[in-house]
Amino acid sequence: MKLSGASILVTGGTGSFGRAFVGRLLESADPRRVAVFSRDEWKQNEMAKAFPDKRLRFFLGDVRDKDRLLRAFDGVDIVVHAAALKQIPACEYNPFEAVKTNILGAQNIVEAAIDRGVPRVVALSTDKAANPVNLYGATKLCAEKIFVNGNAYVGTHPTRFACVRYGNVVGSRGSVIPLFLEQKKKGLLTITDSRMTRFWISLKESVDLVLFALERMQGGEIFIPKIPSMKVADLAAALAPGCPLKEIGIRPGEKLHEVLLSEEDSRDGWDLGPHYMFRSGAATLPEWNPPASPRLPVGFRYASDTNTRWLGIEDLRRLVPRVELEGAEAP
């Protein structure tokens, strides 16, 4: 779908991804209007100062409030849904709140988009939605199902839904890099387990993925980037050379390794070159056409510990200054 001349709304638009995405749109996509929908008026005020552009608009609101979403979605061509409660310990301790925002909020987005005739909606998901072991991952898996199967509710409306699923955005608000940099000042870094691996994606790459999904989606797809893995111990060593590391054990709801694409998902998956994509049969639309790309092999699994792309300590040292800069731009 063309971004030039479009009216685009981003929920959770004052977060790390939202700021990077909005900045890219205003700089290079030539939209007619970009609206940020979020709860925090202070962050909106700070973002307005950072992006003094007459095409940028702000809506105070919560995705739990369907009436406010209906008002905000009026005349919108594209919605990118980035709003979520995502801190794992907070979601575990406040499960009802996580459900209200991440699950019921997703339902509100789907219903409001259909009722307002928004043509394209892309929702952000996480590797923690694949075989989830914590409440955050479980709510995001539910949200994926709601968006993918929202295509069954569109009827004659033009609205289509898709998702993107990616790993940790290193340098974003809440990532491990700010924690390690703070601990470096005290001379001791804590890691949960020296064997732990995670997928790495930058803010720029996450924006690229969403733009790819908006261009390629027909409805019901989940797009997954091909990104490198890293050992968390290597990241700590890159950030604080020579600093001692203390293992504190895996926390409740935490995995040793993450999965972006399970064997079950890959049964309906394709290799699109820079990204993978899968689509469950429940999301079928009569006009959906399979891509002219290779199908994923039977039993294919995309996990952080068996990845074919890795970042070593020297790679991380070259990348960290850039990532720190990205993180500094986030509120």
| Within-domain flag for 195 | no
Q: pLDDT band for 106, please (50, 70, 90 cuts).
A: very high
pLDDT score of 193 more than 70 = yes
**Which run of H or E residues covers position 14?**
none
- Kindly state the average pLDDT of the residues 35-51: 97
**Of the listed ranges 73-82, 98-107, 309-318, the one predicted with least confidence:** 309-318
How does pLDDT run across 269-302, given as a tens digit for each residue? 999 999 999 997 655 666 788 899 999 999 999 9
β-pair partners for 199: 229
Q: pLDDT band for 329, please (50, 70, 90 cuts).
A: very low
| Within-domain flag for 115 | yes
State the pLDDT at residue 283: 56
The answer to whether 311 touches 203, Cβ cutoff 8 Å, is no
State the pLDDT at residue 326: 45
How does pLDDT run across 130-181, given as a tens digit for each residue? 999 999 999 999 999 999 999 999 989 999 999 999 988 876 666 677 788 8
Q: What is the CATH number of the domain that holds 50?
A: 3.40.50.720
CA distances to 164, 198, 229, 230, 315 from 309, in Å: 20, 12, 6, 9, 12
Residues 121-156 as b or e (16 or more Cβ within 10 Å = b): bbbbbbbbbbebebbbbbbbbbbbbbbbebbeebee
| Within-domain flag for 41 | yes
State the pLDDT at residue 331: 28
- Kindly state the average pLDDT of the residues 175-199: 87
SS3 annotation, 87-123: CHHHHHHCHHHHHHHHHHHHHHHHHHHHHHCCCEEEE
What domain range includes position 110?
7-167+202-226+260-303
By the 10 Å C-beta count (0-12 exposed, 13-18 middle, 19+ buried), 39 is classed as middle
Give the list of residues 6+ apart from residue 228 with CB closer than 8 angstroms, or none.
199, 200, 307, 309, 310, 311
| Within-domain flag for 192 | no
State the pLDDT at residue 315: 82
Enter the pTM of the model. Answer: 0.92
Give the list of residues 6+ apart from residue 199 with CB closer than 8 angstroms, or none.
127, 166, 167, 168, 227, 228, 229, 258, 260, 304, 307
State the pLDDT at residue 325: 42
pLDDT score of 49 more than 90 = yes
Report the alpha-carbon distance of residue 287 to residue 154 in Å, rounded.
13
Beginning with the edge strand found earlier in the chain, give each strand of the sheet holding 229-231 in spatial order.
Answer: 168-169, 197-201, 229-231, 310-311
| Within-domain flag for 91 | yes
Whole-number mean pLDDT of the chain? 91
By the 10 Å C-beta count (0-12 exposed, 13-18 middle, 19+ buried), 49 is classed as exposed
Report the alpha-carbon distance of residue 285 to residue 293 in Å, rounded.
19
| Within-domain flag for 184 | no
Give the list of residues 6+ apart from residue 144 with CB closer than 8 angstroms, or none.
123, 125, 129, 163, 165, 222
- Kindly state the average pLDDT of the residues 175-193: 85
**Of the listed ranges 2-11, 120-129, 229-238, the one predicted with least confidence:** 229-238
- Kindly state the average pLDDT of the residues 63-83: 98
| Within-domain flag for 175 | no
State the pLDDT at residue 282: 56
Number of domains in the chain: 1
Residues 275-294 as b or e (16 or more Cβ within 10 Å = b): bbbbbbeebeeeeeeeeeee
**Of the listed ranges 102-116, 219-233, 278-292, the one predicted with least confidence:** 278-292
- Kindly state the average pLDDT of the residues 252-260: 91
Catalytic residues: 128
Percent share of the chain, pLDDT over 70: 93
Q: Residue holding tokens 């991804």?
A: 17
| Within-domain flag for 78 | yes
